[in-house]
Structure 1
Amino acid sequence: MTWTIRPPRAEDQEMLAEIYLSVRRETFVWVDPGKFYREDFAAHTNGETVFVCAHENGSVAGFLSLWPEDDFIHMLYISPEFQGQGAGTALLHALPEWPQHRYRLKCLVKNRRAKAFYLAHGFHVTGNGTSPEGDYEELSFFPA
């Protein structure tokens, strides 16, 4: 499968917000879905660098948002129809200086599938904490 990683376009905003909303509602089943809103995408990515992953047919498959000042991957969301096809991997590989640069993120403990994805891509558990959505682990990627 061929993926294109690019900056977001104005016409992507609705689709990105929909991916963010729908995947959160489907994945975080332990959180009241009424706490998630379409407007969250714009608010939660404000000031971040967003990478869009587009399928070879032009469809938006997902996105990654990065807080560059802290090398912090804030979000990586893939539409269910594209999960397991390499879109998430393509987004990680598009990060500046990947894999020669250190990155970190927080992953909810109950989100086992996401944690398995990050561990398979070389991240290691380096801490933990609690958020309104539940307990999380900090995962860090260290260059080889």
Structure 2
Amino acid sequence: MKWTIRSPLQSELERLADIYLAVRRETFKWVDPASFRHEDFSVHTQGEDLWIAEAPNGETAGFMTLWPPDDFIHMLYISKSWQGQGAGAALLAALPNWPLRKYRLKCLVKNERANAFYRSKGFIVTGSGSSAEGDYEEMSFYPAARDAHAY
């Protein structure tokens, strides 16, 4: 599938907030769904670079945010109906100098599907910690490891 990866328009931010809320409530079953709010998106993305994945039919499938000072991928969220169709991989491929640059992220341990996705793209566990949503693993992508993985 051919994805269009681009910066969102101001008018599309509401849709991204919808995706963020829905995916968190659908995925993080171990967290009280009432703790997730629609306004979280605008608060959690402040100061971050933001890209959307647009399907060939024009539908927004998901988004990714990056905190540039640390090359930290803060969020990568794909609507349930679009998961497993390449949108996440297309978003990663849009990162500056991917796959020739080191990137980091945190992934909740209980989010098994996301963990498997990141590992399949060459991320390795480099640390761990706890958050309000549960234990997480810090994962890093090292350019030297890229030859063993498909992008």
TM-score (norm 2): 0.94
Runs of 4+ aligned residues of structure 1 deviating over 6 Å after TM superposition are none
Q: What is the CA distance between 1:8 and its match in structure 2? A: 1.0
Name the residue aligned to 2:78: 78
Measured against aligned partners, the alpha-carbon deviations of 1:21-51 in whole angstroms (never above 9, x if no partner) come to: 0000000000000000010001000100001
Report the 3-state secondary structure (helix = DSSP H, G, I; strand = E; otherwise coil) of the residue aligned with 1:107: strand
Structure 1 unmatched runs, 5+: none
Identity of aligned residues (%): 65
Q: CA deviation at 1:81?
A: 0.8
Q: Does 1:95 align with 2:95?
A: yes
Query: RMSD between aligned alpha carbons?
Result: 0.5
How many residues of Structure 1 are paired with residues of Structure 2 in the alignment?
A: 144
Q: Could you tell me how far apart the structure 1 residues matched to 2:56 and 2:12 are?
A: 16
Alignment partners' CA distance in 2, 1:141 and 1:6: 22
Deviation at 1:12, TM superposition (A): 0.8
- Offset from partner CA, 1:101-121 (integer Å, 9 cap, x none): 000000000001000000000
Within-5 A mapping of 1:1-144: 1-144=1-144
Alpha-carbon distance, 1:14 to partner: 1.3
Q: Distance in 2 between the 1:4 and 1:84 partners?
A: 16
Structure 2 unaligned regions, length at least 5: 145-151
Distance 1:10 1:132 in 2: 29
- The TM-score with structure 1 as length reference comes to 0.99
